[in-house]
């Protein structure tokens, strides 16, 4: 890939998109922790200093990619048909399955959200943090509106509580469901220990089902 200096806003926007697309492709090969600015720069055929013209740090690249991944996820969820039949609990269980399975299909998104608070927000400016948090707030509002389509009985406050629970569960369950090789070897040596290995889809689905049912019960 050969680049010329980006001189217009359109060219700079295209350069940013190319950097993000490259980072996304790399995250299908390596986890977030192993993606370095040096490797990214090499893949996009730019000097590290030139990558930093468009993003202030590796973490800023990954936060922008996280925002793009969340936007794509929400767009997918919005295109999912909504069942207008069944009890609130049944519709809540259906929503839980949609959320859990859709997240499972997006390993890059799950890897990014699991590293957001502990890694990605540690080497950024206050300006980047403000921009990112505003984007996250907007996405949460979108998820609340999505929840209202499936479970209007919840109301906005409880819908927000449900979606926060979904995301916090995903943050914790993702790394737990992907143990390192040494732990996998331990499970193989003693199968009784394998019950400690998390199934990401099941954990997110069950946590969402139970939280939705509990919120509905409290409202009634």
Residues 6+ apart with CB under 8 A from 75: none
130 with 214, same domain: the answer is yes
Quick one: average pLDDT of 152-160? 94
Q: pLDDT band for position 12 (50/70/90)? A: confident
Lookup: tokens for 139 = 């996405």
89 with 121, same domain: the answer is yes
pLDDT at 167: 95
Q: How many domains does the chain have?
A: 2
pLDDT at 1: 43
Q: Where is the domain boundary, 12, 38, 54?
A: 54
102 with 194, same domain: the answer is yes
pLDDT at 177: 92
Q: Where is the domain boundary, 54, 76, 97?
A: 54
117 with 185, same domain: the answer is yes
74 with 130, same domain: the answer is yes
107 with 137, same domain: the answer is yes
117 with 214, same domain: the answer is yes
CATH code at position 102:
1.10.357.10
pLDDT at 11: 78
164 with 190, same domain: the answer is yes
Yes or no: say if 151 and 88 are a contact pair by the CB < 8 Å rule. yes
In 87-154, which residue ranges form alpha helices assigned H by DSSP? 88-104, 107-115, 126-150
The phi-psi region of residue 8 (left if phi > 0; otherwise alpha if psi is between -120 and 50; otherwise beta) is: beta
The rounded mean pLDDT for the chain is: 91
Q: pLDDT band for position 82 (50/70/90)? A: confident
118 with 18, same domain: the answer is no
Residue 132 has pLDDT above 60, yes or no: yes
pLDDT at 7: 66
Residue 40 has pLDDT above 60, yes or no: yes
96 with 156, same domain: the answer is yes
Q: pLDDT band for position 111 (50/70/90)? A: very high
Quick one: average pLDDT of 143-159? 93
Residue 196 has pLDDT above 90, yes or no: no
Domain membership of residue 41 as a residue range: 1-54
47 with 62, same domain: the answer is no
């Amino acid at each position: 890939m050969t680049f010329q200096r980006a001189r217009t806003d359109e060219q700079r926007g295209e350069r940013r998109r190319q950097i993000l697309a490259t980072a996304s492709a790399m995250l299908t090969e390596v986890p977030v922790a192993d993606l370095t600015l040096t490797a990214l720069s090499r893949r996009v055929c730019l000097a590290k200093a030139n990558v930093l013209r468009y993003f202030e740090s590796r973490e800023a690249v990954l936060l922008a990619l996280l925002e793009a991944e969340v936007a794509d996820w929400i767009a997918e969820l919005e295109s999912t048909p909504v069942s207008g039949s069944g009890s609130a609990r049944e519709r809540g269980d259906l929503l839980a399955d949609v959320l859990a399975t859709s997240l499972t299909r997006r390993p890059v998104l799950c890897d990014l959200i699991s590293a957001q608070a502990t890694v990605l927000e540690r080497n950024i400016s206050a300006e980047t943090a403000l921009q990112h948090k505003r984007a996250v707030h907007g996405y949460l509002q979108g998820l609340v509106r999505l929840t209202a389509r499936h479970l209007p009985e919840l109301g906005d406050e409880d819908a927000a509580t449900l979606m926060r629970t979904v995301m916090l569960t995903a943050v914790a369950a993702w790394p737990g469901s992907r143990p390192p090789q040494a732990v996998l070897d331990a499970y193989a040596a003693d199968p009784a220990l394998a019950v400690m290995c998390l199934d990401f889809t099941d954990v997110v689905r069950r946590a969402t089902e139970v939280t939705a049912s509990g919120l509905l019960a409290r409202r009634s």
